[in-house]
Amino acid sequence: MNPFGAYYIKNTTRVNETVDETTRLDQLRQGHEPAFRWLVDTYQKRVFRTALAIVSSPEEAEDVAQEVFVEVFRTVGNFRGEASLATWLYRLTTSRALKKERDRKRKKRFAFMTTLFGDDGEASHDPPDFQTPETTLEASEQTRQISQAVQGLAESQKIAFTLHYQEELSYQEIAAVMETSVSAVESLLFRARQTLRKKLIPLRS
C-alpha cells in the first residue's frame, strides 16, 4: 500500500473543498441564484440554531437567520474571503443575535418604565424556557437545566460555549468567528464551565 496515499487523498480533499468554496464565492459575487440557494440550504440550520442559543424564541431566531442571509446577499461583493464562508456566517449570526437580544431587553426596560407612569404597556415577562412539542419529550431534565444555566452566562462566554459544544467548532475556528485569540477563547470556555458548574451543582445535589 502506498504510504503517501492517505496523505494525498486527505490533502486533495482539502484542496478540493477550498476550490469549491472559492468557486461558490465567485458565483455569489456574480449574483448566481443557485449558488445563493445552495448557501441558504447548507447553512440555514446552523445559523438558526446558533441564533436560537442567544435570542429567546424561535421566531426571533428565524428573523435573525433571515437578516443574516439578506446581509450576505447585499455585501458578498465586499467580502474578500479572508475567512471561510462558515466563519463569516457565524460571525454575522452572533452579532445580529446579540443586537436583537439587547434591543429586546432595552424595550422590556422601557415598557417597565412606562408602566410606572400608568401606561398600559405590553405585559412583560421573563423569556420562558424554550420547549417545543418536538423537543419536550426528548430533552432530559439535565439538558434543560444546562440550557437555562447557559442563558445566564455572559454574552461572550455564551457564544464561545455554544460554538464549541453545540456547533463543534475548534478553538481556532471560534477565535476566527469572535475575532479574538485562541487563548482568549480558552479563557472564556474555562470561565463558562466554572460558572455553569457553580449553578448546576446545587441542582444536582
**171-178 vs 182-204: helix crossing angle, rounded to 10:** 110
Contacting residue, 10, 14, 197, 198, with other proteins by CB under 8 A? 197
| DSSP codes of every residue in 35-63 | HHHHHHHHHHHHHHHHHHHHSSSHHHHHH
- At closest approach, how far in Å is the CB of 129 from other proteins? 13
10 Å CB burial of residue 70 (0-12, 13-18, 19+) is exposed
- At closest approach, how far in Å is the CB of 48 from other proteins? 5
Instruction: Report if residue 97 touches other proteins, rule: CB under 8 A.
Output: no
Give 126 or 168: the residue with its C-beta nearer to other proteins: 168
Instruction: Report if residue 143 touches other proteins, rule: CB under 8 A.
Output: yes
Instruction: Report if residue 69 touches other proteins, rule: CB under 8 A.
Output: yes
Question: Residue type for 110, please?
Answer: F
Instruction: Report if residue 29 touches other proteins, rule: CB under 8 A.
Output: no
Cell numbers 405585559 correspond to 123
10 Å CB burial of residue 185 (0-12, 13-18, 19+) is buried
Residues lying near other proteins in the complex (CB under 8 A) are found at 37, 40-41, 44-45, 48-49, 52, 58, 62, 65-66, 69-70, 73, 132, 134-135, 138-139, 142-143, 146-147, 150, 161, 164-168, 193, 196-197
